[in-house]
């Protein structure tokens, strides 16, 4: 029997038993829709949590905690210069040479106090606060869309000036040096932006920074007073504080989560000037390792421990495990629904085979082989599975759209809230449809076998 003929016979069979066919399709569609819904939800949540909040392809190596615990207020700004293992260039070279590592980005925390003020041009009024900043290798922000300054440590033209108008924009005239300087470029993390949007902006009645404002905020500047804190003066009294200008140039995924990130060289320069002896000899506060896909993290972790360092616990693995467990639970429920539908399909096809005994016997008498009869039944089941799968995917996606719509309307905002809680990859959609087809074919297997084994002489004689 040719495929075309098989399809024609399947169509004829479907046409005459529409109600039973539709019920079977709906049965499968219900199971598949729940499977698609839950797996889509799981993939969406996983993408946000493990892609944005706890990235799995980035690990942060830090000095052992005891190094940071030197006590006192100054430990807030300490650089891990205790007696234990250090995160220095030698240690970083060893880590970046590992096969699991694609790139290593050094980070250095600000080792002295500073305060910041500004924001009127963007937020409507000036904000004042302690500056928490960190330096990072400029390569860490490569590929990010940054403007209007390059993310590097450039002093500027250093021409003499009396006021800002004497300098070529975006340079400005610091009052302590009266030499034109380029503002220090800085980037923020998407995490910080989310925290601002979901927590700070609503509580202070400030505008949220949406995509439009995010574009506008590139080039936004604010003043920082280096060596001066709202808590008092902590830097060595011999070093006078200086006011400098910082310009935000964009959002960078690898920047420090809760700090303003500037070029590493800038931070090293500042630490030497205001960080005292501790700042001058400071090692790195952490190194960010970009991992290869499917890197052997436990092996890397072992090497990190050998060096006396630690992996910062981002919680990614725990979150990943939790999501996987929840996904498995929902998938299990969905598979149970599909299994029930499969049993229904089996029952339905056993009934169909019993009802069509005479017809199946006739087909054998007219030239159908037992394999052809088996194929006919299985093909009919596969069509039910295909349509059930397609309908299930459509139902699942509709459910996702409904859930997103309701969530957007009724669920309060929170950090990293995605536009959609769902993610439907082609693999998921194709897998769900395949699952539906396989479930139906599996359900129809025994009835098809029984149909193929019917004795044509007996069935025709009994009719």
Partner 1 sequence: MSHPTPALELRSVEKSHGGQPVLRGCDLTVERGDMVALVGRSGSGKSTLLSIIAGLDRRYTGSVEIFGQDLAKLDDRRLARLRSVEVGLVFQSFQLLDHLNTLENVLLPAYLSDGGMTTALRLRAEEQLARVGMGGFGQRRPSELSGGQRQRVAIARALLLSPQLLLGDEPTGNLDRQTGAEVIALFSELHRTGLTILLVTHESRVAAVASRVVRLEEGRVSDGGAAEASG
Residue ranges binding partner 1 (CB under 8 A): 1-2, 4-5, 8-9, 12, 15-16, 358-359, 362-372, 455-457, 460-461, 463
Q: Which candidate, 246, 275, 61, 259, places its Cα nearest to that of 151?
A: 246
Q: How far is 66 from 84, CA to CA, in rounded Å? A: 8
Rounded Cα gap, residues 335 and 180, in angstroms: 68
Q: How far is the CB of 457 from partner 1 (least distance, A)?
A: 4
Alpha-carbon distance values, 16 to 20, 65, 356, 379, 451 (Å): 9, 74, 12, 16, 19
Q: How far is the CB of 371 from partner 1 (least distance, A)?
A: 7
Q: Report in angstroms how near the CB of residue 353 gets to partner 1 at its nearest.
A: 16
Nearer to partner 1, 16 or 211 (CB): 16
Minimum gap (Å) between residue 330 Cβ and partner 1 = 42
Q: Which string of DSSP letters, residue by residue, matches 16-27? A: HTHHHHHHHHHH
Q: How far is the CB of 446 from partner 1 (least distance, A)?
A: 19
What is the closest distance, in whole angstroms, from the C-beta atom of residue 372 to partner 1 in the complex? 7
Q: Which is nearer to partner 1, 254 or 364 (CB)?
A: 364
Nearer to partner 1, 296 or 355 (CB): 355
Q: Which is nearer to partner 1, 58 or 460 (CB)?
A: 460
Contact 124, 207 (CB under 8 A): yes
| Residue 353 near residue 451 (C-beta atoms within 8 A) | yes
Nearer to partner 1, 10 or 428 (CB): 10
Residue among 346 and 378 whose Cβ is closer to partner 1: 378
Nearest Cα neighbor of 219 from 150, 135, 125 is 150
> Distances in Å between the alpha carbon of 136 and those of 194, 351, 445?
21, 70, 62
Q: Which residues does residue 118 pair with via DSSP β-bridges, in sequence order? A: 127
Give 53's DSSP letter. I
Q: Which is nearer to partner 1, 278 or 372 (CB)?
A: 372
- Record the tokens describing residue 74, joined without a space: 């100054």
Q: Whole-number minimum distance, CB 451 to partner 1, in Å?
A: 14
Q: How far is the CB of 337 from partner 1 (least distance, A)?
A: 32
Minimal distance, residue 355 CB to partner 1, in Å:
12
Task: Return the structure tokens found at 254.
Answer: 């690898």
Residue 28 near residue 384 (C-beta atoms within 8 A): yes
Burial class (CB in 10 A: 0-12, 13-18, 19+), 3: exposed
Calculate the CA 216 to chain-centre distance. Answer: 25
Q: CB 406 → partner 1: shortest distance, Å?
A: 46
Question: Residue 133 region, left (φ>0) first, then alpha (ψ -120 to 50), else beta?
Answer: beta
- Angle at 326 (CA atoms; ends 324, 328), nearest 5 degrees: 65
**Beta-strand pair 242-251/58-62:** unpaired
Complex with partner 1: residue 145 or 369, whichever CB lies closer? 369
Cβ distance to partner 1 smaller for residue 92 or 376: 376
Which single residue is written with the structure tokens 């029997």?
1
User: Which of 442/460 has CB closer to partner 1?
Assistant: 460
């Amino acid at each position: 029997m040719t495929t075309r003929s098989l399809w024609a016979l399947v169509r004829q069979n479907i046409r005459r038993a529409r109600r039973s066919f539709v019920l079977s399709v709906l049965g499968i569609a219900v199971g598949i829709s729940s499977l698609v819904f839950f797996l889509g939800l799981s993939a969406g949540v996983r993408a946000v949590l493990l892609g944005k909040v706890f990235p799995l392809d980035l690990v942060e190596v830090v000095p052992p905690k005891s190094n940071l615990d030197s006590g006192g207020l100054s430990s807030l700004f300490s650089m891990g210069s205790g007696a234990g293992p250090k995160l220095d260039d030698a240690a970083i070279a060893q880590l970046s040479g590992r096969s699991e590592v694609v790139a290593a980005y050094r980070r250095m925390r600000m080792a002295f106090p500073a305060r910041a003020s500004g924001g009127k041009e963007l937020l409507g009024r000036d904000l004042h606060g302690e500056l928490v900043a960190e330096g990072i290798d400029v390569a860490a922000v490569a590929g990010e869309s940054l403007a209007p300054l390059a993310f590097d440590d450039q002093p500027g033209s250093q021409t003499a000036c009396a006021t800002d108008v004497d300098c070529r924009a975006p340079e400005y005239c610091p009052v302590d040096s009266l030499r034109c300087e380029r503002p220090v470029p800085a980037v923020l993390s998407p995490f910080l932006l989310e925290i601002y949007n979901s927590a700070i902006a609503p509580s202070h009645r400030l505008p949220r920074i949406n995509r439009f404002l995010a574009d506008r905020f590139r080039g936004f500047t604010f003043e920082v007073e280096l060596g001066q804190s709202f808590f008092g003066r902590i830097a060595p009294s011999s070093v006078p504080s200086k006011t400098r200008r910082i310009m935000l140039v964009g959002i960078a995924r690898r920047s420090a989560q809760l700090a303003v990130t500037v070029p590493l060289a800038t931070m090293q320069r500042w630490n030497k000037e205001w960080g005292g002896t501790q700042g001058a000899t400071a090692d790195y506060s952490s190194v960010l390792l970009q991992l290869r896909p499917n890197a052997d993290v436990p092996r890397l972790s072992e090497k990190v421990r050998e060096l006396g360092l630690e992996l910062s616990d981002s919680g990614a693995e725990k979150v990943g495990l939790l999501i996987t467990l929840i996904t498995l639970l929902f998938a299990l429920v969905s598979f149970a629904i599909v299994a029930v539908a499969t049993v229904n399909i089996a029952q339905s096809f056993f009934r169909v085979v019993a009802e069509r005994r005479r017809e199946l016997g006739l087909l054998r008498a007219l030239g159908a082989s037992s394999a052809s009869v088996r194929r006919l039944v299985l093909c009919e089941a596969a069509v039910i599975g295909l349509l059930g799968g397609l309908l299930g995917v459509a139902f699942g996606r509709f459910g996702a759209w409904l859930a997103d719509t309701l969530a957007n309307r009724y669920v309060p905002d929170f950090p990293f809230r995605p536009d959609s809680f769902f993610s439907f990859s082609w693999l998921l959609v194709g897998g769900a449809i395949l699952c539906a087809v396989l479930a139906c074919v599996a359900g129809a297997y025994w009835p098809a076998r029984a149909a193929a084994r019917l004795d044509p002489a007996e069935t025709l004689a009994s009719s």
